[in-house]
Amino acid sequence: MFLGLWIINKAGGLIFQRDFGESLARLSTNDYLVLAGTFHSVHAIASRISPVPGSSGIETLETDTFTLTCHQTPTGIKFLVVTSPGHANIAGLVRQVYDLYADYVMKNPFYTPEMPVRCEQFDANLLKLVKAVN
């Protein structure tokens, strides 16, 4: 089950956050911003303190109740995909989300990069993807 999507910009600011379904607890807007910033920093720290040189930042976070997958693009945007544990082909899902972002967000000439994402088409197509996956 695709439970939620967060998009974090280069500076660590949350530019998109959506829950799909009821299983994720609702937090306040501020909490989401703080969490995103925290994850951004922890992601960077993890790549530094890793005992293996040349490590990436945090890629997966697995718990009993959910799995968090982080895909960082070479351009610095992070896609955080929250899924139920044991969700198959998360990589494929992340790729589809990135495809939608490249199409409906980046190609919207009135969207300023690095700013909060307020693109209806992105939302609509994302919901379609969620329905197809869940």
Binding site for other proteins (CB under 8 A): 10, 43-44, 46-48, 54-57, 71-77, 91, 95, 98-99, 101-103, 106-107, 113
Q: Which residue lies nearer to other proteins by CB, 21 or 76? A: 76
The least distance separating other proteins from the CB of residue 21, rounded to whole angstroms, comes to 25
Task: Tell me the two tokens of residue 133.
Answer: 């996956």
Q: Which residue lies nearer to other proteins by CB, 82 or 105? A: 105
The least distance separating other proteins from the CB of residue 41, rounded to whole angstroms, comes to 9
Is there a contact between 81 and 71 (Cβ–Cβ < 8 Å)?
yes
Paired with 2 in beta bridges are 83
Q: Which residue lies nearer to other proteins by CB, 23 or 56? A: 56
| Dist CA 80 CA 59 (whole Å) | 9
Amino acid occupying residue 5? L
Q: Which residue lies nearer to other proteins by CB, 64 or 109? A: 109
Paired with 40 in beta bridges are none
The least distance separating other proteins from the CB of residue 127, rounded to whole angstroms, comes to 19
The least distance separating other proteins from the CB of residue 37, rounded to whole angstroms, comes to 13
Where do the H-state alpha helices sit in the chain?
Answer: 29-49, 90-100, 120-133
| Dist CA 10 CA 14 (whole Å) | 10
